[in-house]
Each structure stands twice: as structure tokens, then as C-alpha cells.
Structure 1
């Protein structure tokens, strides 16, 4: 074998060894990246039941410039007493008050905060390589709308400085994703979060962004804490109407309920509208859709989904009392025991306490935040 052949074989061996080493280094980098995404350097924190963990938002509302015609409140000082030794000194010039900056929340920013909510969502910033147009990225973002039964939303920092939902025609310098941490049924779990991270990285690659993935252990702890709160406040309050005599005909009943203000849906549901497109409470006949008669009606209030100002329980009770006279019925509990005015007043007091607890947790009943959690 010639020296040239030996040299070529040696060079080839060095090249193969170099490629192998480079590939191992790339594998090591990828492994470290995954470990950083899912490993935690913090101990899990045990929280008191009912505590809600806040994710600090990485977006800031745009401050508004103070209006030129805004009235200024200037303290009025008593005039100084003139003395002979300072009569020639001019009086001190009045000091203008320092304007306190006021944060203006635009409708777009308010909507963005309701979609990617720092209290109930995992916030995931997405750094962009360059400003992007909403038209270009919306088709990609729409491929990631849910993980499990948890909704995923995206918002963007518009070039005008406002955070807003991504729209056609908008140009954005930063993005942020949010996945809801809990629902009525479950908390966000490890499998769902892993799926989110995998799919979000693919979305980020397609739009030229780099996600900042929160630590999985911390996210799981916050999700379980939020779900404990939701489970502990998932209150549905019902009162029943029991016929004094013969069962009611469903055909006759529908007419009476429509006169009372119920919206009779094609699927057999009876909804009492709140006047703004929502519902105050519902009614069920406690029989199958094709039944001819019923002797029992149940009015049901979804307490966390109705704002206290609407007095859902009061409205439901007033409706029940009106139906008592219309249908010859009595108001009873689930055990068919008549509900006295004293018992109803006690229930109303408990409802008011419930509303105070939700308000204290910054999840007011009937708010967008509550409607998302209790949907």
C-alpha cells in the first residue's frame, strides 16, 4: 500500500471521527435543552387551600399621556407675612404639581388580558426575530387552539405599543401564548403540558419565534391549586316546584313558562335570559324530551357564572313564587320538604358569602375570568 493511500485512509478516519463527535455534541445540546425546559431547581410549594398563584404578566399596559385640559389640583398656601428685612425679596414661585402617570387600558388590551390572563393561564412569551404581520402567522397559530380540554390563546404587542389579539392587518413585535391551567373538570396535567410544549415549539419554528417555556413542576403546582379553588366553588343551586295535584301537561307547561319569560330551546332546555345575551338560570322538567307530563320542575342557578349585581338567586326565587300561583305548586327541596321563607333567607345569605369569597380571590362571579373557569 502506497504512502498516498495510507494518507487518504487516515484522513477519512479523522473525518468520520469528527462527524461522529459533532453529532454527539448536537445530541448533548438537544438533551440539555429539553432538561432545561422540564427540570426544576425549586422545591414544590405547598399552598393553603383556596390560594391562587399569580403568573406575573410579561406585558405592560401602555401608559397614557395626561390630558392637556385636565384640571390640576394645586394646594393653596397662606400668604407670607411681610417683614422689613425681606420686603425686597420676591415671593417664591408656585410649584406646579407633578402629574401622576395613569395607565390607560384600551379595549384591545383589555380583550388581550382576558384571553391570556396572568391569573388563570400559563404565560409563554415568544420572542420574534423580526416584526411579523398577523396575516402571515394567524394560519399557523390556528393550528394550536387546545391541549386536552384547555384552550390556548395568542396575543401580540402591536407596533403601536398595545397588546391585542392577533388580527389581520396587525404588525407585532412580540407574541405571548397562554394555556388555561384549570377547568371545571380537570387541572392542566403533565401530558397536556408536554403536548403544548412540543406543538408550540413547532409553531414557533414556523413563524420565526423562540418560546420561553415555564418550568413544568411550577406550572403543575399552580394548576392544581387553581383547580382546587374551582372545585371548591363549583356551586349550582336549585329549588324545586312540586305539583299539588295532577301532573302538568308538557304542552300546557310550555305556554306557562314562555309567559313567565323563559326561552324554550329546541333541545328541550328552558333558559331565563339576563337581557344581555346570557342566562340567569335554567329550568328542567325532570322527564325525557318526549314525555307528556311532569309533576316536578327544577330551577337551577349556576352561582359562579352570574354576577352578584344580577341577583340570580333572588330572580330565580321570584320566578319560582310566580310559578307557584300559576301552576298550583309548592316550593320544595331535593327531599320534597317545603322551603320556608326563613330557609330561603339563609340560602340567600350563603350565596352572598360565596360571592365575597370569589371577589376576594379576584375571580368575581359572572366575570370573564369566572366564565372561562366554570364553562
Structure 2
């Protein structure tokens, strides 16, 4: 064998060894990526500390009075006690003693309704540098994603241009009125979050997918079980109302006209107490029926949304010559309305016990 052949064989051996080593390194990196994506010490925020998962039934007690427009799905939910994730990146759950910025941060990234994902930073970063990157990830599916940061002053706050942060935390909402966070949405979140983290020099701690999916389904069962809307109808006693005349009467009653043709009764602080529908298309000239609708979980008990809606209905009865009826056009008595009010109060107590008070920022996010 010539020296040239020996040299070529040696070079080939080095090349093969190099390819083998490179492939092994690529396999190792891929394995580490998968391990980071689907293994974590993240606590289950819907589990009691040191106890197995509790999933007690939420009995709404909203047994509909025949014909009354009560719309509430079946119940289900979980007990929520120790809700804050472990570790130094955790946020306080309660609002007691928090600065306004920290309280807002606790609303945006909420341990009870969000999947929390800590992002460790190599060095402190300025908000104006990372905000453009963070704003590229606002939703996965229809679930909002928010980011907060641990300011150098020691407070968690929403990321601002003037802030400097030593840690970050992402939160994706685990359920909405329509769906729970699913595997595809979570996989999309993980992929996009890793790319985002690379851009800003951060390392995310990705929670286990199976645990997150379980928490999401549990939360969605609660939302579905408490998605209650109450309707009260007004039926004209004579000829159908002319829409043009009706609009004036409703505006005098305090309703605001919405683009979708509904009327909204404002609560005085930028929110809505209840709405009213004419039950006809926008181009209709007349209607003989109006429906007032209360979105129960979105109105705080202190506002007495049902009481205000019934009082408004009674005033419209006098103004429009109408009768308050159920869905089958049977008159609703004061006794029946009082019974419904009692059911609403029980509903509010159950939401309070689940730490999701009706009308709270937490409830507004879940039932939006």
C-alpha cells in the first residue's frame, strides 16, 4: 500500500469519526431541547399543597323557573388554595400591600388562571429593549399571553420602557368562555416562547404539558359551569313598537346604542350592567318584544345587576305599555323574580368561594 493510499485512508477515518461525533452532538442537543420543553418542576396551581388534586362538584343551585331565560351550563371545578408557584420568581396572589404596578402585574399574570412560565435572564435587561420582542407573542389561539418583570426595585410589574428587570415571567390564560388551552396551542406557545427567549437572552422553565392540560380542563369546567346569563322579556300590550320611537325611549331610560344593534346599560364606571335586544334585525321597522340580558359572572354583586335589570324592566313597562313575561310569554310575578334573585345570590357566593368573584378582573378575563 502506497503512502498516498495510507494518507487517504487516514483522512477518511478522521472524516467518518468527525461525522459520527457531530451526529451524536446533534442528537444530544435535540434530546436536551425536548427535555427542557416537556419537563419542569412547575407546581400545579389547582392542587392543594401536599394533597392530591381535589375536584369537588360546583352545584349552581340555579334550577331554572320554567320559561325564565336562565342560561347556565353544568357545573364542575376545583378547589384553589395554595395558588402561588414555588421559587423566588413567584408572585404574591393577594393584593394586600402591593403597589399599583405589582397589583396590575398580579392581574395580568395570574397564578390561578394562567400557566406561569418563568424566564431566567443572564443579565438585567431594559424594558425598551425587550418590549418589541415580547409584543410579538400576544396570543396562542384565542388565549392571551402576558409578560411581567421583576424590577430592580424588587417589585413585579408590567414591562415598561423605563424599567430594568432581573427576571421575567410569562402567563398564558388556561381557559376562556369557549375552550380550554389545548395541546396544539401549548406546543405553539413553547415553540414561539423559546425563539423569543433566544432573542432576549433568557431561558424559559417550561411546565409539563400533561399537568398544564389537566389544569386547563379543570378551569374550563368551572367556567362552563358558571357561564350563566339571565334574561327578562317585555311584550307589548298593543301594536308593535316602532323602532325609531323605541330608540328614543330607551335612550331616555339610560341605554347606550351599540354597533351590533343592542343597547347597553352602563354601570357608571365604564362597564355594562346589562344589555337589551330588540329581537329583530337592524333593518326592521317594528318589534313587539324586548329582552334584557344580565351576564351574571361579569357583574359584581355590589352592583345588584339583577335588581337593576328588573327595576329597569318595570320602568319600561310604564313607559312602553308592556308586560314582563318569561320565554313562553307568561307574566312573571314579583314572587318568581324574587326567587330568581335568591338563586343569583347563591351563584355569587359560589364564585366567591372559588376565589373568582363575579365582576372581578379574574372573572372578566375568564368570561370575556
Range of TM-score over shorter length: 0.7 to 0.9
In structure 2, what is the Cα distance between the partners aligned to 1:104 and 1:274?
28
Q: Please, what is the CA RMSD of the aligned residues? A: 2.2
Q: Is the 8 A contact 2:263 2:277 kept in 1?
A: yes
Deviation readout 1:54-89 (Å, 9 max, x if unpaired): 653342459xxxxxxxxxxxxxxxxxxxxxxxxxxx
Give the match for residue 299 of structure 2: 306
Aligned pairs for 1:56-135 within 5 A:
56-57=84-85, 58-60=89-91, 104-135=97-128
Kindly indicate whether the alpha-carbon contact (under 8 Å) linking 2:40 and 2:207 is maintained by their aligned counterparts in 1.
no
The verdict on how the C-alpha distance between 1:208 and 1:332 changes in structure 2, with shifts beyond 3 A counting, is: same
Which residue does the alignment assign to 2:284? Answer: 291
Distance in 1 (CA, whole Å) between partners of 2:54 and 2:339 is: 34
Alignment partner of 2:78 out of 46, 51, 54: 51
Larger radius of gyration, structure 1 or 2? 1
Give the C-alpha shift of residue 26 in structure 1. Answer: 2.4
Q: Give the Cα–Cα distance (whole angstroms) in 2 for the partners of residues 149 and 250 of structure 1.
A: 36
Task: Identify which range, 255-264 or 312-321, moves more after superposition.
Answer: 255-264
The TM-score normalised by the length of structure 1 is 0.85
Asked if the contact 2:262–2:277 (Cα under 8 Å) also holds between the matched residues in 1, the reply is yes
Matched, 1:38 2:38: yes
Contact 1:155 1:175 in 2 (8 A): yes
The structure whose RCO (Cα within 8 Å, separation 6+) is larger is 2
CA contact (8 A) 2:126 2:161 kept: yes
> 1:174-220 deviations in whole A, cap 9, x for unaligned?
00000000000000000000000000000000000000000000000
User: Secondary structure of 1:322's match?
Assistant: helix
Partner of 1:10: 10
For the Cα contact (< 8 Å) 1:114–1:368, is it kept in 2? yes
Corresponding position of 1:26: 26
- Per-residue deviation, 1:319: 0.1
Q: Deviations over 1:28-68 (max 9, x none)?
A: 33124314533699999673332155653342459xxxxxx
Cα distance in 1 for partners of 2:54, 2:83 equals 16
Count the aligned residue pairs: 336
Match of 2:352 in 1: 359
